[in-house]
Amino acid sequence: MNNILNQIGIENYIFLCVILFCIGVFGVLYRRNAIIVFMSIEIMLNAVNLLFVAFSTYHQDAQGQVFVFFSMAVAAAEVAVGLAILVSIFRSIGSIDIDNLKNLKG
Amino acid sequence: MDTSLALVLVLSPFAGFLLNVFFGKQLGKTASGVLGTLAVVVSFVATLLVFLNLQTTGKAVSVPLFDWIQLQAITIKFGFLFDQLSVLWLLFVTGIGSLIHLYSISYMHDDENMHKFFAYLNLFVFFMITLVVGSNLVVMFIGWEGVGLCSYLLIGFWHSNQEYNDAAKKAFIMNRIGDLGLLIGIFILGSLFSTLDFAGLQTALAGGAPSALLSIAALALFIGACGKSAQIPLYTWLPDAMAGPTPVSALIHAATMVTAGIFMITRMHFLFDLAPEVQTIIAIVGAATALLAATIGLFQNDIKKVLAYSTVSQLGLMFLALGLGAYQVAVFHVITHAFFKACLFLGSGSVIHALHGEQDMRNMGGLKKAMPITFMTMLVSSLAIAGIFPLAGFWSKDEILLTAFHHNIALWVVGSVASIMTAFYMFRLMYLTFFTTFRGTEEQEKHLHESPTLITFPLIVLAILAALGGAINLPGSTWLNHYLAPLFQAEEAEHALGTLEYSLMGVALAGGIFGILWARRQFITQKSLPKPDEQMEGFAKVVYHKYYVDEAYMRLIVNPINSASRFFRDTVETSLSAVVFGLAKVTLALGAQGRKVHNGNTGLYLFAFVLGVIALITYLFIVQ
C-alpha cells in the first residue's frame, strides 16, 4: 500500500479527485436527464470518498476510511430514495427530463 | 340581631331583581310589579325590626361576613354595619322606596318593559342598601358604583330616544369623574392607616392632627360626593337625568341616591373634622350650588327640570351644613327633603300622567279641579320646601340657616336668598300648573282625570310625612340629635332658643312668604306666562339656558378632548400605521421579487446549488 502511494504520489490522487468532481459538477449542470444528473452527483460523492481514502492512507489513520463507510451507507439510502422518486415522476409525467419538472414553481 | 335578618334585609331586593329579570315577563305586568314592591317592603319591615332593636339596646350592630381581600398590608372584610346613621338611611330608603314601587305599579303599567323597570328598581334598592350598610369604604364603594349603574340604566330606560341615552351617558361619565376622586381618597386612607373599616379609621384618626395628606384625602372624597350629589362643578348631569321615568327621578334623583354624598361625608365626619380647609370648601361649594341652581330654577318651564334644579339647590344647602360641621342638621334636611321632594316628583308624575306626557308648564294650568288629591299633596310639599311654619322643611332649613348664621353671615345671606328663590319657583310651578285656566289642547282637557289610588296613596303618605316630618327634630325636643349623638363625639352644645333664634326663624318665614307672594303677584294677579323659548332675552335667556354651563363644558372640556382624539386618530395613528404598513409593503415587494427565482426550473436550482458550493469553497479556502 505504502509503496504504491509513494510510487504514484498523493498529488495525483488529488488531481484525479478534482477531475472526477468537476466531471460530476458539469454533468449536473449540462445534462437534462435526471438519471444522468443523479449519476453525476454520485461521481462527485465518490470523488470525495476517494480523496478520503487516499488521505487516510497517506496519514496512516483509519478514521478517513471509517468515514467513507458511513458516507457510502448514507449514499446507498439516498440512491434508493432518489430512484424511487424518479420512478414515480416518470409514472406521473412520462418523462425524466428535468426541464419538464416545473411543478415546483414558487 | 342575627346575621340572617341582616341578610334578608340586604338580599331581599336582590332576590326581587333576579326573579324579575328571569321570570318577570312570564309573570305579567301586575305580578312583576307586586313582586318588586314586596321585595322592598320585606326590606322595610326588616329595617323596622333592626331599628326597634337599636332603639332598645342603643348599640350599633356589626355583621361581619367573610374576609374579602387579603393582602400583606391590609385585610378588607366584607361586612355590614347597622348603626344609628345607616339604619336611619335604611328607614327612608326602603320606606320611600316601597311607596315609589307601589306608585310605579300604576305609573308604568302601560310600558311593555315593566318587568325590566322593576328589576332595575330593585337592583337599585339593593345597591343603595349595600352602600348604606357597608362596614368599610370598599363595600360602600360597591354600592356607590352599583347605584350609579342603576341610575344609568334607569335614565336611559326609554332607550329608543337618543336624547335620553345621551343623558344617561352624561350622568354615568360625570359620576365616573367623581368616583375617581372617591377611589383616590380610599387609596390614600388605605395606605395611611392599613384599614378601611369605618370603625378602624375612626380609632386611627381619633385625636389625630391635621395633615396635608389627610386634607387631600378629604378633598378627594368630597369630589366623589360632588359627583354623586350633583354639586358644582359636577351638577349638570342631574337635570338631564330627568329623562328617566318620573318614579326614578323621585327615588334615585331626589330622595336616595343623590344623598349618598352627604351620607358618605357624614360617615367620614371624623376625617373631615381634621381638615378644616376642606370643610370651608364644602360650605362654599354648597352655598354656591344652592344659589346657582335656585336661580336656574326660576326660569325653567319643564315641570321636572324645576324640581331637578330645586333638588340640586337643596343638596347644596345640605353640603353647606356639612361644611359647617353640623352633620345632624344636614341629615335632618336629607330626611325632610326626601319626604317632600319625593312627593313633589310623584305629584308631577301624576300631572304628566294625566296630560299624557306633557311636561311643559306653559301648556298646563287649572288642574286644581281635575286633580284635587294631587293638588293638595303637592301644595303641602311645596309649602314644606318653601319653609312655611310648621311643615317639615321649615324646621330643617331653618336649622341650616341658623348654623350658617352662627358661623358666617355671608353664607347665611346666600342660603336665605336661595330659600326665597325656592319659595318663588315652587309656587311659580304650583300657580302655572294648578291655577287659572287650562292652556293645553282640548283633546287633553277632555281626558283630564285624577290618578288612580295606587298613585295617590303614596302621594298622601308622603305629604303627611312632609307635613309632620319636622317633628323628629323640633327645637326643644331634639329626638334626631339624641339619636345620632353616639356617632358624633364632639357634640356641640345645643343652641339655646333666644330672641336671635326666634327672629331668624321669623326672617326665614317672612322670606318664604315673600317668595310665594312674589310668585302669586306675577302669575295670578298679572297672569303673565313664561315667554316661548325664542322670545327670551337678556338675563332671563342666560338663566333659562342654565348660564350656558353645558355649552361651556362642551367648549372647554368635551371639544378639546374630541379634537385631541381626532388628532391622535388622524395624525398620530395614521403616521404610526404608515410605518407599520410600509414595512409590510417592503417585505411583500421583496418577496415578490424572490418568488421569481423559484420558477420550477430544476436546472436553475442545480446551477444555484453549484454556485453556492463554489462560493462556500472560495470563502473557506481562498478568502480565509
In tens, the pLDDT along B130-153 reads: 999 999 899 999 999 999 999 999
Mean pLDDT confidence for B378-394 = 89
Is A74 domain-assigned?
Answer: yes
Residue B595 has its nearest CB partner, among A98, A101, A106, at A106
Is A33 domain-assigned?
Answer: yes
Which pLDDT value is given to residue B477?
64
Is B292 domain-assigned?
Answer: no
The continuous run of DSSP H or E covering B78 comes out as strand B75-82
Mean pLDDT confidence for A53-67 = 89
Q: CA B281 to CA B435: how far, in whole Å? A: 42
Residue among B593, B602, B605 with most chain A CBs within 10 A, to mutate: B602
Question: Does residue B388 contact residue B514 with C-beta atoms inside 8 Å?
Answer: no
Mean pLDDT confidence for B81-109 = 91
Question: Does residue B275 contact residue B245 with C-beta atoms inside 8 Å?
Answer: no
Q: CA B505 to CA B510: how far, in whole Å? A: 8
Q: CA B211 to CA B230: how far, in whole Å? A: 28
Residues of A with a Cβ under 8 Å from any B Cβ are 25, 28-29, 32, 37, 98-99, 101-106
Mean pLDDT confidence for B578-586 = 94
Is A104 domain-assigned?
Answer: no
**What are the helix (H) ranges across B108-161?**
114-133, 137-155
Please give the torsion angle defined by the CA atoms of residues B366, B372, B376 and B378, in that order, rounded to the nearest 10 degrees. -60
Q: Distance (Å) from the C-alpha of residue B596 to the closest C-alpha of chain A?
A: 7
Is A100 domain-assigned?
Answer: no
Q: Flag the least confident range among B277-291, B446-460, B502-516, B525-539.
A: B525-539
Q: Is the minimum CB–CB distance between B602 and chain A shorter than 8 Å? A: yes
Rg value, chain A, Cα? 17
CATH number of the domain within which A15 lies: 1.10.287.3510
Whether the per-residue pLDDT at B458 is higher than 50: the answer is: yes
Which pLDDT value is given to residue B395?
87
Nearest alpha carbon to residue B415 among B482, B484, B329 = B329
Is A103 domain-assigned?
Answer: no
Q: SS3 string of B458-482? A: HHHHHHHHHHHHHHHHCCCCCHHHH
* B524 grid coordinates: 295670578
Q: How far is CA B281 from the centre of its chain?
A: 20
Residue range B471-480, pLDDT digits in tens: 887 776 678 8
Is B615 domain-assigned?
Answer: yes
Mean pLDDT confidence for B116-138 = 93
Q: How far is CA B117 from the centre of its chain?
A: 18
Whether the per-residue pLDDT at B328 is higher than 90: the answer is: no
Is A17 domain-assigned?
Answer: yes
Is B534 domain-assigned?
Answer: no
Please count the residue pairs, one from chain A and one from chain B, whose beta carbons lie less than 8 angstroms apart: 32
Place of cell 367648549: B555
Is B591 domain-assigned?
Answer: yes
Which pLDDT value is given to residue B285?
93
Residues forming beta bridges with residue B76, ordered by sequence position: B69
Q: Which residues of B touch A96 (CB under 8 A)?
A: none
Which pLDDT value is given to residue B489?
56
Q: Count the domains in chain A.
A: 1
Is B562 domain-assigned?
Answer: yes
Mean pLDDT confidence for B33-51 = 93
Which pLDDT value is given to residue A9?
83
- In chain B, the residue whose alpha carbon lies closest to the alpha carbon of A24 is B610
Spatial CB neighbours of B254, under 8 Å, sequence gap ≥ 6: B307, B311, B337, B338, B341, B342, B344, B345
Which pLDDT value is given to residue B320?
93
Nearest alpha carbon to residue B426 among B378, B360, B372 = B378
* Per-residue pLDDT band at B186 (split at 50, 70, 90): very high
Residue A103 has its nearest CB partner, among B595, B600, B607, at B600
Range of the domain at A22: 2-95
* A62 grid coordinates: 483509519
Nearest alpha carbon to residue B491 among B506, B501, B481 = B481
Mean pLDDT confidence for B222-226 = 93
Is B617 domain-assigned?
Answer: yes
Place of cell 457510502: A72
Provide the percentage of residues in chain A whose pLDDT is more than 90.
47
Residue range B404-413, pLDDT digits in tens: 888 888 999 9
* Per-residue pLDDT band at B183 (split at 50, 70, 90): very high
Q: Which letter does DSSP use for residue B547 in this model?
A: G
Nearest alpha carbon to residue B129 among B259, B225, B11, B21 = B11
Range of the domain at B602: 552-623
Q: Which letter does DSSP use for residue B274 in this model?
A: T
* Per-residue pLDDT band at B28 (split at 50, 70, 90): confident
Which pLDDT value is given to residue B544?
76
* Per-residue pLDDT band at B578 (split at 50, 70, 90): very high
Question: Does residue B255 contact residue B314 with C-beta atoms inside 8 Å?
Answer: no
Is B585 domain-assigned?
Answer: yes
Provide the percentage of residues in chain A whose pLDDT is more than 70.
91
Which pLDDT value is given to residue B490?
45
Interface touch B600/A98, C-beta < 8 Å: no
Q: Count the domains in chain B.
A: 1
Q: Is the minimum CB–CB distance between B600 and chain A shorter than 8 Å? A: yes
Q: Which letter does DSSP use for residue B242 in this model?
A: G
Write the CA distances from B171 to B101, B152, B570, integer angstroms.
Answer: 23, 7, 29
Angular region, B527: left φ>0, alpha ψ -120 to 50, beta rest:
left
The continuous run of DSSP H or E covering B63 comes out as strand B61-70
Is B245 domain-assigned?
Answer: no
